[in-house]
């Protein structure tokens, strides 16, 4: 390819596997669907089990324990404090993708959630982005609404004194019509229009939607009124049927049973069902609005004649968010009281700026099915994410790929396409980590049949939960009380839902994979942590 491609990487926050139309959803996502149907849909692509670890891996090509996010900054345990890889921000042991691309002549642009450092010297502009507008922490009110804080305020709702930064300057005040997805779309379009047209660009658009609090424009929410009145199990079965129809999962797949601490739909009162369904309506509206903003950027690239020369990657940063925040001591014993005092979570107000809701584990598992569980878990429901690639010059378009992949593959793939070499272990006078991911270029060009062969080994760990995969075999360790506190073994080629533990029948294989995990742990410097929500 004589002309260096542009890049657009779009990241959704807590989006479930089947939350996009092209992946089985009833939610209106025409822009992502068009990219998916004209590109390559990936059904076996993996992230970390939560957001900031994934973001560090995406931008460096290496493991998050090396890159500084060994645990989320908000959940570093005492035994991890001060240890290498647990800085809570993107550290100096890695070189970031935008740093390398900028050095190679690319214009690097970002608008969206950062979650890799809270101060100007740790912000996107300090890690290679020429222009950036970003939400620094992991979550915030999508409308910029902030209630008064005092000593009783749950920490999860406090945010930080400065939430948004543009380049190296904190944003003092958000506009009155601020909505996160629209603001990020606006800013990226601004940067694209102002850019140096003589240089190719790398654009990063990491939304903070559909992460809680669930909030969306009322006119979009209204489109889904009544759509979810039958409850999450009905939606789960609809989604599973559609996934099978689309060829994204096998027709005889066995889905993992739903695991949840909250009450089943039929045991809820009429009021509880109405509030739960409304929360899901707002969630759907958030996804639709995210898609609308993707469409604005894609339309601009098309108008500029740049679309066919832009490599577009879309993915989620982890599985759907199924947390019951009210059940976790981490979020404070007075969460409900604070919300009742400062927010209006009445049925007709849910989704507005002064509401604060989440949708819980049953709706989340409607989106992760047939996989097991959801965000924060190293089971498939926590780490398998929807992903698509759209780039017409490459051979594999209008297809579905069941090849295994990981978010660490993004950096080496983009560098390959850009004709840029990763420096290896030394960059700008300092030691840096090599990439652990693999480039997809040969596969995308139709030259190879797979990216990771049957001997490829990939590990995961977060909050003491562990997993390792070699080929189609996977081991999972969930500590008590949420799991058995022992390794479980699954053959994902036959059991993608992780429903049948083969640990007892394959002890030698189990031990081999456990040994691989131990090696992975030593290579990446894992310091065992604890579950932050129990």
| pLDDT at residue 23 is higher than 50 | yes
The model's pLDDT over 335-383, given as tens digits with 9 standing for 90+, comes to 888 888 889 999 999 999 999 999 999 999 999 999 999 999 999 999 9
The model's pLDDT over 117-135, given as tens digits with 9 standing for 90+, comes to 999 999 999 999 999 999 9
Question: What mean pLDDT is predicted for residues 325-330?
Answer: 69
| pLDDT at residue 533 is higher than 60 | no
Closest among 112, 159, 482, 484 to 322, alpha carbons compared: 482
Q: Please tell me which residue in 51, 65, 142, 452 is annotated as part of the active site.
A: 51
The model's pLDDT over 212-229, given as tens digits with 9 standing for 90+, comes to 999 999 999 999 999 999
Q: Please tell me which residue in 46, 65, 115, 390 is annotated as part of the active site.
A: 115
Burial class (CB in 10 A: 0-12, 13-18, 19+), 413: buried
| Active site (annotated) includes residue 115 | yes
Give percent of the chain above pLDDT 70: 96
- pLDDT tier, 151 (very low <50, low <70, confident <90, very high otherwise): confident
3-state class of 430 per DSSP? strand
- pLDDT tier, 329 (very low <50, low <70, confident <90, very high otherwise): low
Q: For 271-308, b where at least 16 C-beta lie within 10 A, e where not — what string?
A: eebebbbbbbbbbbbbbbbbbbbbbebbebbeeeebbe
The model's pLDDT over 455-464, given as tens digits with 9 standing for 90+, comes to 999 999 999 9
The model's pLDDT over 47-86, given as tens digits with 9 standing for 90+, comes to 999 999 999 999 999 999 999 999 999 899 999 999 999 9
Point out the least confidently predicted range of 261-275, 334-348, 438-452: 334-348
Mean pLDDT, the chain, integer: 95
| pLDDT at residue 136 is higher than 80 | yes
Is the peptide bond prior to 370 cis by the omega test (within 30 degrees of 0)?
yes
pLDDT score, position 336 = 83
Residue 240 sits at φ, ψ, to 5 deg, of -60, -45
> Please, where are the H alpha helices in 85-179?
97-103, 155-158
pLDDT score, position 1 = 41
| Active site (annotated) includes residue 402 | no
Give percent of the chain above pLDDT 90: 90
pLDDT score, position 156 = 67
| pLDDT at residue 174 is higher than 70 | yes
Residue 203 sits at φ, ψ, to 5 deg, of -115, 130
Closest among 407, 413, 412, 439 to 423, alpha carbons compared: 412
The model's pLDDT over 225-248, given as tens digits with 9 standing for 90+, comes to 999 999 999 999 999 999 999 999
The model's pLDDT over 472-483, given as tens digits with 9 standing for 90+, comes to 999 999 999 889
Question: What mean pLDDT is predicted for residues 106-115?
Answer: 98
Question: What mean pLDDT is predicted for residues 194-206?
Answer: 97
């Amino acid at each position: 390819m004589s002309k260096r491609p542009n890049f657009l990487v779009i990241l959704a926050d807590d989006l479930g596997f089947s939350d996009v139309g092209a992946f089985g959803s009833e939610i209106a996502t025409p822009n992502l669907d068009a990219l998916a149907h004209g590109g390559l849909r990936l059904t076996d692509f993996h992230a970390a089990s939560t957001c900031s670890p994934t973001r560090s891996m995406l931008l460096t090509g290496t493991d998050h324990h090396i890159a500084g996010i060994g645990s989320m900054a908000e959940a570093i345990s005492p035994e991890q404090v001060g240890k290498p890889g647990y800085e809570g921000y993107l550290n100096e042991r890695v070189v970031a993708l935008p740093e390398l691309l900028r050095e190679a002549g690319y214009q690097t642009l970002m608008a969206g959630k950062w979650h890799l450092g809270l101060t100007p010297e740790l912000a996107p502009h300090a890690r290679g982005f020429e222009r950036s507008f970003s939400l620094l922490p992991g979550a915030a009110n999508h409308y910029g609404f902030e209630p008064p804080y005092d000593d009783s305020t749950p920490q999860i709702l406090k945010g930080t004194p400065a939430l948004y930064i543009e380049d190296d300057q904190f944003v003092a005040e958000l506009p009155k019509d601020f909505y996160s997805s629209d603001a990020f779309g606006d800013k990226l379009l601004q940067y694209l229009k102002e850019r140096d047209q003589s240089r190719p660009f790398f654009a990063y658009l990491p939304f903070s939607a559909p992460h809680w609090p669930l909030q969306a424009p009322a006119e979009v929410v209204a489109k889904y009124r009544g759509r979810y009145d039958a409850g999450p199990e009905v939606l789960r079965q609809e989604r599973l049927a559609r996934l099978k129809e689309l060829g994204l999962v096998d027709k005889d797949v066995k889905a993992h049973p739903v695991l949840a601490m909250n009450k089943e739909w039929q045991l809820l009162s009429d009021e509880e069902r109405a509030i739960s369904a409304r929360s899901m309506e707002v969630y759907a509206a958030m996804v639709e609005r995210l898609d609308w903003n993707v469409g604005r950027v894609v339309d601009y690239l098309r108008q500029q004649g740049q679309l066919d020369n832009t490599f577009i990657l879309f993915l989620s940063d982890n599985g759907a968010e199924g947390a019951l925040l009210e059940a976790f001591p981490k979020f404070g014993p007075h969460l409900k009281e604070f919300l009742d005092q400062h927010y209006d979570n009445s049925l007709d107000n849910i989704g507005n700026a002064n509401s604060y809701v989440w949708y819980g584990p049953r709706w989340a598992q409607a989106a992760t099915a047939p996989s097991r569980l959801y965000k924060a878990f190293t089971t498939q429901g926590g780490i398998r994410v929807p992903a698509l690639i759209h780039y017409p010059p490459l051979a594999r378009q209008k297809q579905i790929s069941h090849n295994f992949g990981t978010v660490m593959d993004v950096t080496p793939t983009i560098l390959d396409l850009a004709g840029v070499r990763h420096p290896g272990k030394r960059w700008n006078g300092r030691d840096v980590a090599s990439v652990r991911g693999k480039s997809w270029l040969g596969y995308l060009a139709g030259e190879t049949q797979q990216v990771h062969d049957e001997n490829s080994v990939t590990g995961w760990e977060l909050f003491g939960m562990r997993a390792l995969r070699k080929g189609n075999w996977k081991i999972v360790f969930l500590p008590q009380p949420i799991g058995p506190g022992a390794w479980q073994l699954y053959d994902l080629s036959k059991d993608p839902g992780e429903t049948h533990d083969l640990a007892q029948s394959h002890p030698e294989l189990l031990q081999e994979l456990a040994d691989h995990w131990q090696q992975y742990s030593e290579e990446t410097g894992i310091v065992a942590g604890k579950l932050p929500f129990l």
